[in-house]
Structure 1
């Protein structure tokens, strides 16, 4: 497989791991002050950007911007599904999977010629 096509996907995966923790990780610590949650989330998001920006820069050489965004959405859903079940203890229900499936179908359409 062509590394120019794979590296952006791996960077998007890494960036989504950071961003999922930044956006949702604080939900496990609802007693923490909101200001602290915002500051910690912002700090985690910095590392997300350190991966996202190169992913999009490198990826734009082989993918269109809509294709990069479509991949981003699918990766986000996969990362979130695992995070929700593993970290938050909230496994997804059938209707969540059905909704995510529709988003995956939409992303697939973006790759059609």
Structure 2
């Protein structure tokens, strides 16, 4: 069971780091661009420290397309929480509808 769960947890952690790397600077628009680029790059290092082993371990039990589909769903969930609570920009009905379609697409990756 752990072989199925550990990759998901590692990918969840990596997505949290990457979401902060990509979007966290939006709260600091007065910071110099080069500064936020370097900080984002530093945060992304920790994302890779989780993402690479997550995909490596996950490839033992999931196919590459399944890992990618899983990653997209995890990304959407992390981003929805991040957008609402960190950026104070809650999602609207059309965002949820679009995300639901992506989730359906990702679930198709798991059909035999």
Q: TM-score if structure 2 supplies the norm length?
A: 1.00
Distance 1:98 1:37 in 2: 32
1:83 shift after superposition? 0.1
Residue in 2 aligned with 1:103?
102
Structure 1: 4+ residue segments shifted above 3 A: none
Question: What SS does the aligned partner of 1:30 have?
Answer: coil
Structure 2, unaligned runs of 5 or more: none
What root-mean-square deviation, in Å, do the aligned CA atoms of Structure 1 and Structure 2 show? 0.2
Residue in 2 aligned with 1:77?
76
The C-alpha deviation readout for 1:52-96, integer Å capped at 9, x for no partner, is 000000000000000000000000000000000000000000000
Structure 1, unaligned runs of 5 or more: none
Residue correspondences, number: 112
Distance 2:30 2:93 in 1: 30
Residue in 1 aligned with 2:66?
67
Distance 2:97 2:30 in 1: 33
Distance 1:68 1:93 in 2: 27
Residue in 2 aligned with 1:17?
16
